[in-house]
A = this chain, B = another copy of it.
Amino acid sequence: MEPFDFSDRTKRYRADLLEFMDEHVYSAEAVYEEQMRAAGDPHHQPRIVEDLKAEARRRGLWNLFHPHPEWGPGLTNLEYAPLAEIMGRSAHLAPEATNCAAPDTGNMEVLTLFGSDEHKEKYLRPLLDGTIRSAFAMTEPGVASSDATNIELRMERDGDHYVLNGRKWFASNAMHKNCRVLIVMGKTDPDAPPHRQQSMMVVPIDAPGITIVRSLPVFGYMDREGHAEILFQDVRVPASDVLKGEGEGFAISQARLGPGRIHHCMRAIGVAERALELMCRRADERVAFGHRLSDSANIRDWIAEARIDIERTRLLTLKAAWMMDTAGNKAARTEIAAIKVAAPDMALKIVDRAIQVHGGGGVTDDFPLANAWAQLRTLRLADGPDEVHKRAIALQELRKHRTPAGA
Interface residues of A, Cβ cutoff 8 Å to B: 1-5, 18, 22, 78, 139, 141, 143-147, 150, 169-170, 216-222, 273, 276-277, 280-281, 283-284, 286-289, 293-294, 296-301, 303-308, 311-313, 315-316, 318-319, 322-323, 326, 334-335, 337-338, 341-342, 352, 355-356, 359-365, 370-371, 373-374, 377-378, 380-382, 385-395, 397-398, 400-402, 406-407
Contact = CB atoms under 8 A, between A and B. Distances in A.
A120 to B, nearest CB: 31
Q: Which of A306, A315, A388 has the most CB of B within 10 A?
A: A315
Contact of A298 (B218, B382, B387): B387
Contacts of A308: 316, 338, 341-342, 393
Nearest to A352: B377
22 contacts: A3-B322, A4-B323, A22-B406, A218-B370, A219-B220, A220-B220, A280-B400, A281-B401, A296-B297, A299-B394, A301-B394, A303-B394, A303-B397, A304-B338, A304-B390, A307-B393, A311-B335, A312-B315, A356-B386, A359-B385, A363-B377, A363-B381
A304 B391 contact: yes
Closest 6 CB pairs of A and B: A220-B220, A220-B221, A300-B394, A304-B390, A315-B315, A304-B393
A114 to B, nearest CB: 26
A374 B356 CA distance: 13
Main secondary structure of the interface of A (DSSP, over half): helix
B387 A301 contact: yes
A101 to B, nearest CB: 19
A98 B386 CA distance: 40
Given A3-B78, A288-B147, A359-B144, A305 B390 contact: yes
Contacts of A326: 2
A382 to B, nearest CB: 7
A362 B342 contact: no
A276 B394 CA distance: 11
A365 B169 CA distance: 13
B359 A363 contact: no
A398 B284 contact: yes
Given A220-B374, A289-B391, A298-B387, 16 more contacts: A4-B322, A141-B360, A147-B288, A219-B370, A219-B373, A220-B371, A277-B407, A284-B402, A288-B388, A297-B391, A299-B394, A303-B397, A304-B394, A307-B338, A308-B393, A312-B312
Q: Which of A218, A222, A308 has the most CB of B within 10 A?
A: A308
Nearest to A315: B315
Contacts of A393: 303-304, 307-308
Contact of A401 (B2, B280, B361): B280
Nearest to A338: B308
Contacts of A364: 216-218
A23 to B, nearest CB: 12
Q: Which of A22, A288, A406 has the most CB of B within 10 A?
A: A288
Contacts of A356: 380-381, 385-387
A381 B398 contact: no
A150 B287 contact: yes
B381 A277 contact: no
A226 to B, nearest CB: 12
Contacts of A3: 1-5, 78, 318, 322
Contacts of A277: 401, 406-407
